[in-house]
A and B are shown apart, each in its own frame.
Chain A
Amino acid sequence: MDRFKQGFLEEARELLSELESSLLELDQQPDDPETVGRAFRALHTIKGSGAMFGFEDIAAFAHDLEAVFDRLRKGQLAASADLINLALAAGDQIKTMLDAAAGEGTADPQRGTRILSEIRELAGTPESHQETPAAPPDSPASAPAGTPVEWSIHFRPGPNTILNGTNPLLLLRELRELGSLRIQPDVSAIPRLAEIDPESCYSAWDLLLTTAAGRDAIRDVFIFVEDDCELRIEAAAPETGASAAPAGTAKREAPASAAQGSGGASSIRVAAERLDQLVNLVGELVTVQARLSEISARRDDPDIRAVSEEIDRLTAELRENSMSIRMLPLRNTFERFRRLVHDLGIELHKQVDLVTEGAETELDKTVIDQLNDPLVHLIRNSMDHGIETPEARRAAGKPPAGKIRLRAMHSGAQVLIQVSDDGRGLDAQAVRARAIEQGMIDASAQLSESELFSLILAPGFSTAREVTDVSGRGVGMDVVRRSVETLRGSLEIASQPGQGLTVTLRLPLTLAIIDGLLVRVEDAYFILPLATSLECVELTRQDIQNAHGNHLADVRGETIPYIRLREFFAMETALPEREQMMVVDTEEGHCGLVVDEVLGNHQTVIKNLGRFYRDVQMVSGATILGNGTVALILDPHRLVQHAVHATLQRRPDSRQTRRPPGSLSRPSPQKRI
């Protein structure tokens, strides 16, 4: 397809989600003029660009919808819930039209006509008694009579404008006297402070002027500067206030509104596959670079070493750069859930507010793409089973409207995403009873609350035939867990009965390349993620003796439990004279991982282990070293959790309270790998 058309389709989809989110906001605050304006502009641009790129049907449809929003904007119409729902449906219709234009599926024109006629009906009736006075109060009495028209003006003063005595702000002020003026400054041309010539003018302005004065009156304002500046005056939309604008005008405004929509953003669109390809290539490059530095270390040739170090540095930079290109804020994902919550709320007859926090948190696009389904599932669960009906909530002394909170935040090399609701929560004892009933745990088993909750993540826990309240909460939770684990993330549940439930997803920032620390045990190499590594200390024979057989080390006064990887992986060879310990930060607290030698930083291209090793928890992947050997990438968090678990299983009575991290004293050798 034509490149421009493709661009329009993408832009229009973004505008639609903008429309959707503003509609949902309007639902909360029905008369916020800013939000109405956003919806209007989105439609306006869809219409304008649509016509320009030959999507007349979309343009016409958007035009009819825009007319309604224009009246909303002018306060001639109130944003009722019905209207918003219809407008949402209309947005969906535009989306199917876009899909049809892109060759995916077909749009049902009858549905479109139906929606439009319903909207017109809804919008048409209250027209007569909600009319506002025609002339805005600030328009000068001297303005020639006529229909107010919206003009889009782009004004960039020339470099000498100020030196020649013109104050551009006065021109803007003069324009304002002609009618109502919206000013959008464009400061993109302002250079760095050191390069600024204080006598030069770097700003430009995009103006939307609604005035009954004609083009000549506007030009007249700029008459002294028009030869030395960038000036475009274009008719935007006829301010007729009715939905029957002539089709010809709608088309002519296209260039103006397209310019408005692009807003001078200095970005380009690139197909996602190309980025993936770039990241893959960088991954290959990193691997090759590791080989080069291996060779240069062996050859001990200063010339080669210099080049190798240079390439090392460049590769690291290139890697960081290309990874950051793939990072996207979670905003769009979060915004999409607003619609889900809205629709589900209607379906389930529940009032639910969605609150989002940290939507600006960035994650690798590949992670975000796979995050949608699990989050939808969690929100659905919360809406379905967590949040009570308004009546039940009132009876429980809660506000009738439930609240779902979506939070995202950084935590080291990971991102935490929390979905919490203030619904009825989860009863640990009920979960326990159910698990015993299903034979998943022994009746005498001592489990902490979080361990009990994690039982609902097990497959089969809730797919039992009789659906209780508790099992209802777990529907498909194993699916959620699996998709989160595919992303090398983990999942935790916390809940207070009656108070709500919080599910925390812990996800890696990226799936491709990380900064790692290369360590060695015997002839095996491992990678520890640098983000969780705190420090490297020596573990001497003396330290070991001092601990009297406990796996505890004293690091500057802090007693730190450690896991000897040699034992953990059952490598039964003699201990070396000196060992080194990496102190890592995990949720269980600081913990040491004892290795023979810490070799240093390593740019780590993550390769998956393959299906066969899918259940291996402590290893998050593998990487290829410069000399061609494979190093396993350890997940310190899981590793420590596993060791804690193993320790506690041997001492079941120690579980009554949540144990301090220091209690991890005797990890048993594991042979899981």
Chain B
Amino acid sequence: MAKVILTVDDSASIRQMVKFTLSEAGYSVIEAVDGQDALSKLASVNLVITDLNMPNLDGIGLIKQVRANPECKGLPIIMLTTESQESRKQEGKAAGATGWIVKPFSKQQMLAVVKRVIG
């Protein structure tokens, strides 16, 4: 069965790009518009790719909540950051992010990271 990836971003175009790239690579992708939305869609998800700056619940908050949820133990979470957000990256890691992708990124870069994290 194809692995399920949840892409969390308030920008639809980013979600599109992510979904397209990953679907092409054989993954099954579902979308969430922010952290709060994501929390309700976590069941049977194999990987979360989340933006950091989002309304309602931001990426860091999402990561913290996922890590606090015993049902999602060990769920890989990749955050999308920009180079200017080094401190946010540290914050995300401290919250329990598995990895990160620096924006802007190429398809190959993202696929490489996804592959590294969920095989």
A550 at the interface (CB under 8 A from B): no
Question: Of the candidates A163, A165, A227, which one forms a contact with B117 in the assembled complex, judged by CB atoms under 8 Å apart?
Answer: A165
| B96 & A164 in contact (Cβ 8 Å cutoff) | yes
Shortest CB distance B30–A (Å): 18
**Cα A236 to Cα B118 with chains together (Å):** 30
A199 at the interface (CB under 8 A from B): yes
Partner-binding segment picked from A58-66, A167-175, A372-380, A599-607 = A167-175
- In the complex, which residue of chain B has the Cβ closest to the Cβ of A170? B119
Given A199-B73, A199-B74, also A164-B97 (CB < 8 A): yes
- In the complex, which residue of chain B has the Cβ closest to the Cβ of A173? B119
| B93 & A174 in contact (Cβ 8 Å cutoff) | no
**Cα A31 to Cα B73 with chains together (Å):** 48
| A163 & B96 in contact (Cβ 8 Å cutoff) | yes
Give the residues in chain A near B96, CB-CB below 8 Å.
160, 163-165
Given A163-B73, A199-B73, also A170-B98 (CB < 8 A): no
Task: Tell me if A's interface is mostly helix, strand, loop or mixed.
Answer: loop
Given A162-B74, A166-B98, also A171-B116 (CB < 8 A): yes
Question: By the criterion of a CB under 8 Å from any partner CB, how many residues of chain A are at the interface?
Answer: 16
| A174 & B116 in contact (Cβ 8 Å cutoff) | yes
**Cα A239 to Cα B44 with chains together (Å):** 46
Given A170-B117, A174-B116, also A165-B75 (CB < 8 A): yes
Give the residues in chain B near A170, CB-CB below 8 Å.
115-119
B76 at the interface (CB under 8 A from A): yes
| A167 & B97 in contact (Cβ 8 Å cutoff) | no
Q: Which residue, of B74, B93, B96, B100, has the highest number of chain A Cβ atoms within 10 A?
A: B74
| B116 & A165 in contact (Cβ 8 Å cutoff) | no
Given A171-B116, A174-B116, also A163-B93 (CB < 8 A): no
B8 at the interface (CB under 8 A from A): no
| B-facing residues in A91-130 (Cβ within 8 Å) | none
| B93 & A227 in contact (Cβ 8 Å cutoff) | yes
A569 at the interface (CB under 8 A from B): no
Give the residues in chain A near B61, CB-CB below 8 Å.
none
**Cα A162 to Cα B74 with chains together (Å):** 6
Question: Of the candidates B67, B93, B119, which one forms a contact with A167 in the assembled complex, judged by CB atoms under 8 Å apart?
Answer: B119
Give the residues in chain B near A164, CB-CB below 8 Å.
67, 74, 96-98
Chain B, residues 70-112, CB within 8 Å of chain A (1/0): the string is 0001111100000000000000010011111000000000000
Given A164-B98, A166-B98, also A221-B116 (CB < 8 A): yes
**Cα A224 to Cα B102 with chains together (Å):** 12
Shortest CB distance A196–B (Å): 16
Given A224-B99, A224-B100, also A163-B67 (CB < 8 A): yes
Question: Of the candidates A165, A173, A174, which one forms a contact with B76 in the assembled complex, judged by CB atoms under 8 Å apart?
Answer: A165
| B74 & A163 in contact (Cβ 8 Å cutoff) | yes
Q: Which residue, of A160, A164, A221, A223, has the highest number of chain B Cβ atoms within 10 A?
A: A164
Question: Of the candidates A160, A163, A174, A199, which one forms a contact with B115 in the assembled complex, judged by CB atoms under 8 Å apart?
Answer: A174
- In the complex, which residue of chain B has the Cβ closest to the Cβ of A199? B73
Shortest CB distance B65–A (Å): 14
Give the residues in chain A near B77, CB-CB below 8 Å.
165
Shortest CB distance A219–B (Å): 13
Shortest CB distance A518–B (Å): 63
Give the residues in chain A near B99, CB-CB below 8 Å.
165-166, 223-224
Shortest CB distance B45–A (Å): 12
Q: Which residue, of A167, A223, A227, has the highest number of chain B Cβ atoms within 10 A?
A: A167
Shortest CB distance A165–B (Å): 3
**Cα A164 to Cα B118 with chains together (Å):** 13
Give the residues in chain A near B97, CB-CB below 8 Å.
164-165
Question: Of the candidates B67, B73, B76, B115, which one forms a contact with A166 in the assembled complex, judged by CB atoms under 8 Å apart?
Answer: B76
Give the residues in chain A near B67, CB-CB below 8 Å.
163-164
Shortest CB distance A209–B (Å): 16
| A-facing residues in B44-61 (Cβ within 8 Å) | none
**Cα A224 to Cα B97 with chains together (Å):** 9
Shortest CB distance B87–A (Å): 14
Shortest CB distance A289–B (Å): 56
Shortest CB distance A409–B (Å): 49
| B-facing residues in A149-180 (Cβ within 8 Å) | 160, 162-167, 170-171, 173-174
- In the complex, which residue of chain A has the Cβ closest to the Cβ of B115? A174
**Cα A221 to Cα B76 with chains together (Å):** 16
- In the complex, which residue of chain A has the Cβ closest to the Cβ of B66? A165
| B-facing residues in A194-228 (Cβ within 8 Å) | 199, 221, 223-224, 227
Give the residues in chain A near B117, CB-CB below 8 Å.
165-167, 170, 224
Give the residues in chain A near B93, CB-CB below 8 Å.
227
**Cα A224 to Cα B113 with chains together (Å):** 10
Shortest CB distance B99–A (Å): 4
Q: Would you list 14 pairs from A and B whose C-beta atoms are within 8 A, ordered by A residue?
A: A163-B67, A163-B74, A165-B97, A166-B76, A167-B119, A170-B115, A170-B116, A170-B118, A171-B116, A174-B116, A199-B74, A224-B116, A224-B117, A227-B93
Given A166-B76, A171-B116, A224-B117, list of 7 further CB < 8 A pairs?
Answer: A160-B96, A163-B73, A165-B77, A166-B117, A167-B76, A174-B116, A221-B116
**Closest 9 interchain pairs by CB?**
A165-B76, A165-B98, A224-B99, A170-B119, A164-B96, A166-B98, A174-B116, A164-B98, A162-B74
